[in-house]
């Protein structure tokens, strides 16, 4: 299987480039507070989930200009994953003084997040980069401990967990906690300038949005049967992108960014979010030999906003096919590139015509774009330092729900409305807060180690059986 071939820097691989870009972290476009030096101003960080995204998030958090920050706890359910993360972080010379994780603060346990959060003080940050299914469980405890939080996307994978996260978001706000969600595109300065220009009418009224994420298969999403070296529950957690209960599958994990940045351009203002009210999808699964995951290889979803504007999302993970990774907005007066060739840099620009014609560019971002993976941490830590309101959970939950709408519609071959998805009774993993390594897995394999896959039009998967009840 080949990895995606594009020029983007994802959180998954960002930490691999940290040494190369450390010298470029002074973000000249930012206005940030004084860099505190006193020990009692240090914000301690607990990394809960030590995969590639968690490791990348720590790099961003430690090299922020809104310091000082220090990594003091690491938690995972796999020893080798924690060890690998710590080794990679310790190999970044300029961050070594900010890594203070002795052996007794390296925790391998399902309940380890509690021990880590117990060891933080109020004002510190718990970083939740475990599979999304566990997001509400760990967020609940962080609120109880009075901790600020950074959580990766998606934050929910179904209706019940979305409703639960709405309530937790309100509790966090009431407690004065600051919470960031890893939809870093919303922190992009180039996209932000484009948003302002669209609101000022530079492309007229938006009549169509298009989004593409098309590349080769990604190994973590397409997996063989459990070889028997771990329980089915641990195997599913280890390969969480392959299972709907754990992550919402590759649809929720990959496509949420393109969906979110397109919906952003439809917003009325910073505080007035606009989301599609209907999703109608189609897609399918190619023959993939012995793969046992629950993902499709192609997803094509038509989202409709309340006033009729359409967003077309095209996702594909097929070897040998054309690679395309971009989002576009078409207006009555012009055409805008929201992003092209990946998440960052965006290559954001506006054209007076309806196609990519360099002679008709009327605006383009000039100079180097500050990296949004850095910016989301600059913004969160600035809010913590200044004690300003900051909570991205409601918006992150909405973006996650809209992603679930598209996935659900494609898997069932049924139209799915926003309110239907939100109020759907079926929860993928209702007892995830009680899960242990030896628990029965949330989804059972058959005698050949294969898991149920969506069969559009038949609604045979248990996860969807009561959707239209």
Tens digit of pLDDT per residue, the chain (469 long)?
222 233 333 444 444 444 443 333 333 333 333 333 334 799 999 999 999 999 999 999 999 999 899 999 999 999 999 999 999 999 999 999 999 999 999 999 999 999 999 999 999 999 999 999 999 999 999 999 999 999 999 999 999 999 999 999 999 999 999 999 999 999 999 999 999 999 999 999 999 999 999 999 998 999 999 999 999 999 999 999 999 999 999 999 999 999 999 999 999 877 789 999 999 999 999 878 889 999 999 999 999 999 999 999 999 999 999 999 999 999 999 999 999 999 999 999 999 988 899 999 999 999 999 999 999 999 999 999 999 999 999 999 999 999 999 999 999 999 999 999 999 998 999 999 999 999 999 999 999 899 999 989 875 445 455 444 3
The Cα–Cα gap between 201 and 363 comes to 13
Per-residue confidence (pLDDT) for residue 459, from 0 to 100: 59
Per-residue confidence (pLDDT) for residue 5, from 0 to 100: 30
Are 252 and 407 in contact by the 8 Å Cβ rule? The answer is yes
Q: For residue 331, what is the enclosing H or E element?
A: strand 324-331
The answer for residues whose C-beta is within 8 angstroms of residue 457's C-beta and 6 or more apart is: 412, 413
Domains, the chain: 11-185+373-391 (3.40.50.720)
On the CB side of 367, how many CA atoms lie within 13 Å of its CA? 6
Helix locations, 292-392, DSSP H? 372-386
Nearest to 89 by CA among 55, 60, 46, 65: 55
Q: How far is CA 421 from the centre of its chain?
A: 19
Are 64 and 375 in contact by the 8 Å Cβ rule? The answer is no
Per-residue confidence (pLDDT) for residue 469, from 0 to 100: 39
Residue identified by tokens 């990766």 is 152
β-pair partners for 280: 302
The angle formed by the CA atoms of residues 66, 70 and 374, to the nearest 5 degrees, is 45
Widest CA span in the chain: 62
Classify each residue of 157-179 as buried b or exposed e, where b means 16 or more C-beta atoms within 10 Å of its C-beta: bbbbbbbbbbebbeebbeeebbb
Pairing between strand 298-304 and 106-108?
A: unpaired
Q: What is the DSSP letter of 188?
A: -
The answer for residues whose C-beta is within 8 angstroms of residue 86's C-beta and 6 or more apart is: 50, 74, 99, 101, 106
Nearest to 158 by CA among 358, 427, 410: 427
The Cα–Cα gap between 316 and 294 comes to 15
């Amino acid at each position: 299987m080949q990895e995606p071939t594009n020029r983007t820097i994802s959180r998954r691989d960002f930490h691999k480039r940290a040494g190369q870009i450390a010298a470029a972290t002074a973000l000249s476009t930012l206005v940030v507070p004084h860099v505190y030096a006193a020990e009692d101003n240090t914000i301690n960080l607990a990394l809960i989930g030590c995969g590639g995204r968690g490791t990348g998030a720590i790099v961003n958090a430690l090299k922020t200009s809104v310091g000082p920050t220090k990594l003091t706890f690491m938690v995972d359910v796999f020893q080798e994953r924690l060890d690998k993360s710590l080794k990679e972080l310790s190999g970044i010379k300029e961050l070594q003084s900010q890594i203070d994780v002795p052996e007794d603060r390296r925790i391998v346990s399902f309940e380890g997040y509690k021990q880590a959060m117990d060891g933080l003080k109020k004002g510190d940050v718990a970083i939740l980069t475990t599979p999304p299914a566990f997001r509400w469980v760990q967020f609940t405890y962080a609120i109880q401990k009075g901790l600020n939080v950074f959580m990766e996307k998606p934050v929910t994978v179904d209706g019940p967990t979305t409703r639960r996260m709405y309530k937790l978001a309100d509790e966090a706000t009431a407690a004065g906690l600051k919470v960031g969600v890893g939809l870093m595109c919303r922190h992009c300065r180039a996209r932000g300038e484009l948003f302002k220009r669209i609101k000022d009418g530079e492309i007229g009224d938006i009549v169509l949005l298009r989004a593409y994420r098309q590349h080769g298969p990604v190994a973590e999403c397409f997996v063989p049967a459990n070889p028997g070296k771990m329980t089915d529950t641990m195997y599913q957690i280890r390969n969480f992108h392959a299972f709907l209960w754990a992550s919402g599958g590759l649809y929720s994990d990959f496509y949420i960014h393109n969906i979110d940045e397109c919906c952003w351009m439809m917003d009325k203002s910073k505080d007035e979010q606009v989301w599609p009210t209907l999703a109608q999808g189609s897609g399918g699964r190619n023959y993939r030999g012995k793969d046992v995951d629950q993902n499709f290889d192609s997803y094509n979803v038509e989202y409709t906003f309340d006033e009729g504007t359409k967003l077309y999302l095209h996702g594909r993970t097929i070897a040998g096919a054309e690679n395309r990774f971009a989002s576009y907005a078409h207006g009555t007066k012009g055409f805008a590139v929201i992003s092209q060739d990946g998440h960052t840099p965006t290559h954001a620009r506006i054209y007076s015509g309806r196609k990519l014609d360099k002679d008709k560019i009327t605006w383009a971002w000039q100079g180097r774009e500050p990296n949004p993976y850095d910016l989301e941490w600059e913004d969160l830590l600035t809010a913590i330092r200044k004690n300003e309101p900051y909570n991205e959970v409601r918006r992150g939950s909405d973006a996650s729900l809209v992603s679930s709408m598209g996935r659900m519609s494609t898997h069932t071959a049924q139209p799915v409305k926003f309110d239907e998805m939100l109020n759907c009774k079926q929860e993928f993993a209702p007892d995830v807060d009680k899960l242990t390594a030896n628990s029965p897995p949330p989804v059972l394999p058959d005698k050949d180690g294969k898991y149920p896959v969506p069969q559009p039009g038949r609604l045979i998967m248990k996860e969807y059986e009561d959707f239209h009840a």
